[in-house]
Amino acid sequence: MPRFDFIATYMLANRKNGAIYTGSTAALVERMALHARGLGSKFASKYGCTRLVWYERFDRMAPALARETRLKSWPRRWKIELIEATNPDWKDLFIC
């Protein structure tokens, strides 16, 4: 049975205004550990996206997946604006 510790849609970056990875997970802490080891996704690993710059928490997985799908269709500028609305310096929210 899957664990649902911290359901979230999230964005990672390698630096401010750098590459952006969008994903969703039922266990954000465990997923971040995978990304840190280069095992979270091929894209994130290739571009060094390990900095958690934005996330949105959900009670269920289905809405998190729907949000991920919507965000992936957004233009890059919109994603940057979403990140900077709450994290203008693109700080790593996972270690803050």
Extents of the domains making up the chain: 8-86
Helix (H) or strand (E) run with residue 66 in it: helix 61-73
Per-residue pLDDT of the chain (96 residues; tens, 9 = 90+): 456 679 999 999 999 999 999 999 999 999 999 999 999 899 999 999 999 999 999 999 999 999 999 999 999 999 999 999 999 999 999 985
CATH hierarchy code of domain 8-86? 3.40.1440.10
pTM: 0.92
HSE of 33, CA atoms in CB hemisphere, 13 A: 3
